[in-house]
Amino acid sequence: MTSEQKRRVWTKVLGGGGTVADAAKATGDTPNAVYKQFQRDSESPKESDHLYRDDYATFEDYCRERWDMPRQHAYRLIESTAVCHQLVTLGAPVPSTESQARELVGLEPCEAQEVMEAAHKSTA
């Protein structure tokens, strides 16, 4: 399966309310692989870059036509992916769902790390 095919499967699963773990399982990847791919995708194109405008009139059109998801969900993925990227960089456990990661948005990286390490310990 190509990277593009995987991204399509992942965005379908996530757009349908599935978890990152569900998306990863659908393609035989790890949740970290899904997060890392969305991190790379969030680096370009995104609304602040306006790179999507070469092919799409608006960021909303880009999200809907390219990724089959509403703009608001794309923002949530971008924000939660940034949090997960920070956690991976710190060597901390990552949330298994986008909604869990979203709860960490706005925390300092060390605070998010503490939260995830405590959550990981409590479920081990």
One pLDDT digit (tens) per residue for the chain, 124 residues = 787 788 778 777 776 667 677 777 888 888 777 766 766 665 544 445 566 777 888 889 988 888 888 888 888 888 888 888 888 888 888 888 888 899 999 999 899 999 999 998 988 7
Cα–Cα distance measured from residue 103 to residue 78, given in angstroms and rounded to the nearest whole number:
13
Total number of domains in the chain: 1
Structural domain that includes position 118: 3-123
Half-sphere exposure of residue 33, counting CA atoms within 13 Å on the CB side?
14
- Look at the block and give the residue holding tokens 């990661």: 101
Helices (H), the chain: 3-15, 20-27, 31-43, 59-67, 71-90, 98-102, 109-123
Cα–Cα distance measured from residue 20 to residue 86, given in angstroms and rounded to the nearest whole number:
17
- Compute CA 83 distance to the chain's CA centroid, rounded to the nearest angstrom: 9
pTM above 0.75, yes or no: no
Tokens of 57: 């009139």
Instruction: Give which of 88, 71, 74, 78 is closest to 31, Cα–Cα.
Output: 88
